Structure 1
Amino acid sequence: MDNLNLRHLFYFWTIAREGSIVRAAEHLDLTPQTLSGQLATFETAVGGALFRRANRSLQLTDFGHTVLGYADEMFQTAQALSDVISQPPEERPLSLSIGIAASIHKLIAYHLTEPVLTLKREVRLSCRTGDPDELLKRLAQRELDLVLTDRQPDSAEAGRFRTYRLASSSMSLFAIPQLAEPLRENFPRSLNGQPFLATSLKAPYVTALMNWFASQNLRVKVVAEVDDSALIKVFGRQGVGYFAAPTAIREEVCRQYQVEHIARISEVRDTLYAVTRSGKSHNAAVQELIKERPELGDRLEKTDP
């Protein structure tokens, strides 16, 4: 940066875009002699010729093309920044970086983030999935604005974060039609020894589901453990076994993966939270996301058998 004069770089960029020193000088309201001198000073500073003369015109050297590529990015970014600064504060785009626990079902994650996509203000959304503990570390380091998770932070970390309960849904079981029909008969005894697709993630609903199986004296035959909720559904669509998903997304799961609903397990629930840093956030997108949305868990369960 010691050798990089941004004004000289801007002069070079303008010359390259205009194709000649004369036209660039007119654009910059400088004399051609002054602009030519500024270009020579910049070439000396960067240690190489940026243009060569050919048939009374200027052509970029290889080095000039390289410098121009960086200059294009820099000044396009500067123009975008200028456009943002010129807007009234209430109309400027919002940046929102969200961490999403990998154990949250992807359709649920979409429904939880959907409200910010319908705000009147533009929202530049970035989503990262991963382990909840790692996401909370990134939240504390201000790399994230908010974390969507299915478990609350440890009590030892309570002072660092604020937790908001967003929604809760019972869990349901699903399978392809050939498996679902016999499993619905004599439920839950019909599940005994049948192939089950389990998640290897340490989600609270998984522990509750396994405890429910035990309370029913069912032998669970796990045929695969998968650490991705979407991949489990793909396995289920291929008939490998039955799987669990929140009742709140029952219709979407059935439609997207060509499976059928077996039964709802009201005793097992998936509860979701938004976690922010302690202290009130002034980001309007964050404020929109931390609103409780009971309709997400209730909308389908009201009509469940």
Structure 2
Amino acid sequence: MQHGPAVRRRKLGAELRALRAESGLTSGEAARLVGWHQSKVSRIETGTSGVKPADVRLLLDVYGVTDPQLRELMLALAGSDGAGGHHWWHAYRGVLPPTYRDFISLESQAGAMRTLETSVVPGLLQTPEYARAVTRAAVEGVADDRLDTLVEVRLARQVVLRADPPLELSAVLDEAVLRREVGGPGVMARQLERLVEAARLPQVRLQVLPFTAGAHIGVTGPFVIFSFPSTSDLDVVVLDNLTSSLYLERKEDLRAYSEAFNTLQIHALSPEDSLDYIAGIGDGA
């Protein structure tokens, strides 16, 4: 169990080590080709030290990695978008904590996201009014200008659902998410309408876990599983708490949370029934 920056370094190092082995090079040979000491390559591969995006590019070139998607992912883990520029969220560095920036970076690079929500609507599906009400409640005493910025970021994140290809989102929502009146009746009504719209998107699979399901494996709290298109070795589970985020990347952790999510999907309503259920709550049924 590690914090975001540490797990990103470890994941990047492990993938670079695998790519080096694939190329048939030893760590010493790779170091000589880029003009480094062998110990630098070892520190990068074990995740004990950070690595600049420019150094990652050098290694990828030496290893003969030409797949643009894989290169972009490696550079994102190193803190770059792969083109030497900045991602959109870099403009908010003074407002967003590092753990949140890490989360957004992973979200933007992931091919798929599975999430269990027990209290609030997932950020990617929130309306502006709902996002404002949730953020105001979560960040006590937040000034209006900072609140505006945080909501702006929340809405900007939703671009991943409209990307080409879009992020594939699978969400299981506890019924409490739909029943909790956030921001008042009008705000909640519009939010439920937004969920119905989102549930009809081909890249979104939305399921409701009704109260009648009773106690379930998700009662311990919400979680997110990110999966990446180039390699499953970079998949990660994210757990949020009040002051930070924790990243789980051991294979046994990923397996446990994947199995838990599969179980939740089995006990939840089907996507079709969930859509009707959400619409019924919105209609006051």
Shorter-chain TM range is under 0.3
TM-score calculated relative to the size of structure 1: 0.23
Higher-helix-fraction structure: 2
